[in-house]
């Protein structure tokens, strides 16, 4: 909902995906109940982020799941100068005693079409622990 709220004033569009159909249904239901005015700028889909493909290129992609590596298929979906932000690092259970259970947000900025990213770096000072971005079952 936050992404839709941010892009709506500029005639933007949000594509929201989740590997679980139930999560997609809940997201659409909640938006319909709380901010129905944002539904026209959103598309909801059941899809796996590790294999997600689209003809559309994106200005920004935000991943809300822990990734051990950067999903290169998502980098390929960025417009030149587009940005991918994701929690990057080892997937560690939240109840773990390991010191590295919190991982940084990571920023990847796309280069020109067909070129490697122009920037890959930590995106800010906070560290997080998310559920893992699930691979294709």
For residue 74, the number of C-alpha atoms closer than 13 Å in the C-beta half-sphere is: 22
> Where residue 114 falls among pLDDT bands split at 50, 70, 90?
confident
* pLDDT at position 134: 80
Averaged over 34-55, what is the pLDDT? 93
> Where residue 46 falls among pLDDT bands split at 50, 70, 90?
very high
Averaged over 97-126, what is the pLDDT? 90
pTM: 0.87
Burial class from Cβ neighbours inside 10 Å (0-12, 13-18, 19+) for residue 116 reads exposed
* pLDDT at position 98: 87
What tokens were used for 61? 């992609």
> Where residue 62 falls among pLDDT bands split at 50, 70, 90?
very high
CA distances from 125 to 3, 103, 104, 121 (A): 21, 10, 7, 11
Strand, coil or helix: 7: helix
Compare 137 and 91 and report the one with higher pLDDT. Answer: 91
How far, in Å, CA of 117 to CA of 128, rounded?
24
Please check whether residue 28 is in contact with residue 14, taking contact to mean a CB–CB distance below 8 angstroms: no
Burial class from Cβ neighbours inside 10 Å (0-12, 13-18, 19+) for residue 71 reads buried
């Amino acid at each position: 909902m936050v992404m839709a709220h941010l892009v709506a004033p500029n005639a933007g569009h949000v594509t929201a995906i989740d590997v679980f159909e139930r999560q997609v249904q809940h997201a659409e239901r909640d938006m319909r109940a709380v901010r129905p005015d944002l539904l026209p700028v959103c598309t909801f889909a059941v899809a796996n982020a590790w294999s997600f493909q689209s003809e559309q290129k994106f200005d920004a992609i935000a991943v809300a799941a822990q990734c051990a590596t950067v999903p290169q298929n998502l980098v390929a979906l960025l417009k030149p100068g587009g940005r991918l932000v994701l929690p990057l690092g080892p997937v560690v259970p939240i109840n773990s005693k390991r010191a590295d259970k919190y991982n940084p947000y990571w920023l990847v900025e796309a280069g020109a079409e067909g070129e490697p990213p122009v920037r890959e770096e930590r995106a800010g000072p906070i560290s997080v622990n998310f559920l893992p971005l699930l691979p294709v079952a």
